[in-house]
Amino acid sequence: MMIYKSISTQTLQRLPMYLNYLKSLPDNQILNISATTIAEALKFNDVQVRKDLAIISSGGRPKIGYITKNLIFDIEKFLGYDDADSAVIAGAGDLGRTLLSYDGFSKYGLDIIAAFDVREDIIGTTINGKKVLSSDKLKDLCGRMKVRIGIIAVPASEAQEICNSMVESGILAIWNFAPVNLNVPDSVLVQNEDMAFSLAKLSKSLSKKLCLN
Amino acid sequence: MMIYKSISTQTLQRLPMYLNYLKSLPDNQILNISATTIAEALKFNDVQVRKDLAIISSGGRPKIGYITKNLIFDIEKFLGYDDADSAVIAGAGDLGRTLLSYDGFSKYGLDIIAAFDVREDIIGTTINGKKVLSSDKLKDLCGRMKVRIGIIAVPASEAQEICNSMVESGILAIWNFAPVNLNVPDSVLVQNEDMAFSLAKLSKSLSKKLCLN
DNA sequence: TAGATTGTTAATCGATTAACAATC
DNA sequence: TAGATTGTTAATCGATTAACAATC
């Protein structure tokens, strides 16, 4: 197993952007790419790009740059896209359905094995090939299948309860789309997917821009 | 108009968390709250919380803290939740529908006035009270209504084209949910909503945690 | 009064950027 | 060779944390 240097959130944030950019290049036409080119395209500092790439790749060559194909492979490998984690999702409403079909999470190394909901009319249906089961079964199934990641896409009012079931079943990380502060033991990792924050960032940048113009 | 000090992305990121926490407190029972309490609940440093709050509020009182009600008001005001921006959304598929109904963006100061799609069977329907119109009409409507924010929730392959229409119509900021790098003039602000990054962060933290245990 | 809390100033830490030698 | 590019070391910048006086 390859050991990586420790990585900052900032770098981790940029890696998917590099990947995205590299993949947007015309297939097989750009065999080599320089950190300078990437930096210009994404409006980053070139040394920053080089430092980021140093963490995950075996390096480029002066005057030539990096081998595009290898770089894509190395970033994907670092991000764990090659080695899927299994997950379940609670809530098969609009948001849940979106997540179940959003550009195939499997591409990103996340294998959603089932969805759970409380609504009788949804239980038993299939979304994007995944069965929707009764929420009662969550604890049992996750325990047996050793699922490590739970995704919460239920209304805010039900989020804590479903979170408790997940924690009891032994889930280690929770990706929370409900706008609530979940209470979990320290051993469980929670990542809040914060629409409110994203929107705040957008509208702040916009109003700042308008002030300057 | 109140003038705020300039604010870092980090602080901006935490403000919605404070708001969320404050709103989760039992109504009218906790009249005053200290930065220390907030910091403990959210696992931040207390000085950091105090500095953040100093930017947006008129201050607390030693030994007592801040007036909860006012703090909520001040954060909402700062984030612009009181003063809605109008927006349109392109793409009324699963993702678009989720966004049209996601906990009412209106609460966050975003007023989505219409959705656009190319699919004949969806055009003319109403989602959460918003009309779905033909994408052909986007440019005209946004221009006339002086819409400033466009949300892109179409498949990656169609994103650039719809983005171009938005830019031509005079939209100033684009909230992009499609996993592509959009090409826009410098005058237009793009914020990518990056599922891939969120997922990367989650799975990296998880694997780091597992290594340590 | 005593002690909790605020807000500010100074110290620390970490990320970004600049400078530059090494390489192809 | 000349010049573009890498990767490293040092300088800068900004955010977080520590220390502490002021206040209720």
A124-154 pLDDT, tens digit per residue, is 999 989 999 999 999 999 999 999 999 999 9
Task: Look at residue B51 in the predicted model and tell me its pLDDT.
Answer: 96
Task: Kindly report, as residue ranges, where domains of CATH 3.40.50.720 are found in chain A.
Answer: 85-196
Asked whether the predicted pLDDT for residue A2 surpasses 60, the reply is no
A15, A77 Cβ separation under 8 angstroms? no
Q: Look up residue A58 and give its DSSP letter.
A: S
Is A129 labeled as ligand-binding?
A: no
Chain B CB contacts of A195 under 8 Å are: 102-103, 105, 108
Query: Got the DSSP string for B146-163?
Result: T--EEEE-S-HHHHHHHH
Say how far apart CA A178 and CA B60 lie, in whole Å. 30
Percent of chain A at pLDDT > 70 equals 94
Contact B53, B5 (CB under 8 A): no
CATH class of B85-196: alpha beta
Nearest-angstrom CA–CA distance, A119 and A163:
18
Per-residue pLDDT band for A7 (boundaries 50, 70, 90) equals confident
CATH 1.10.10.10 fits A9-78, yes or no: yes
Amino acid A213: pLDDT: 45
Q: Single out the residue of A35, A78, A77 nearest to residue A60, CA to CA.
A: A35
CATH 1.10.10.10 spans which residues of chain B?
Answer: 9-78
Write down the residue that tokens 């699963």 correspond to.
B94
Instruction: Give A-chain residues touching B12 at CB under 8 angstroms.
Output: 197, 200-201, 204
Which pLDDT does position B50 carry in this prediction?
A: 97
Nearest CA in chain A to B181: A21
Residue B162 CA to residue B159 CA, distance in Å, equals 5
Band the pLDDT of A198: cuts 50, 70, 90.
confident
CB < 8 Å from B in window 115-144 of A: none
Residue A69 burial class via C-beta count within 10 angstroms: exposed 0-12, middle 13-18, buried 19 and up:
middle
Query: pLDDT value at position A187?
Result: 84
Q: How far is CA A37 from the centre of its chain?
A: 26
For chain B, residues with pLDDT lower than 70 are 1-5, 103-104, 209-213
pLDDT for B3: 56
Name beta bridge partners: A90: A116, A152
Whether residue A28 has pLDDT greater than 90: no
Backbone angles phi, psi at B6, to 5 degrees: -70, 155
Q: Is A96 annotated as a binding residue?
A: yes
* CA nearest neighbour of A85 among A171, A19, A18: A171
Q: What is the mean pLDDT of chain A?
A: 89
Does the beta carbon of A200 lie under 8 angstroms from any beta carbon of chain B? yes
Q: What is the structure's pLDDT at B116? A: 98
Q: What is the pLDDT of residue A210?
A: 67
Average pLDDT for A164-173: 95
In this predicted structure, what is the pLDDT of residue A5? 60
Q: How far apart are CA B189 and CA B173, in angstroms?
A: 5
Neighbours of A156 (CB within 10 A): 13
- The reported pLDDT for the residue numbered A202 is 85
- Name the minimum distance, in Å, from the CA of A210 to any CA of chain B: 9
Q: Which positions in strand C are less than 7 Å from the protein's CB atoms?
A: 3-9, 14-19, 22-24
Decide if pLDDT at A85 tops 90: no
pLDDT at B213: 45
Q: Is the pLDDT of residue A102 over 80?
A: no
CA–CA dist B115, A60 (Å, integer): 46
Give the C-alpha separation, A163 to A150, whole Å.
8
SS3 assignment, position A102: coil
Band (pLDDT 50/70/90 cuts) for residue A212 is: low
Consult the annotation and say whether A92 binds a ligand.
yes
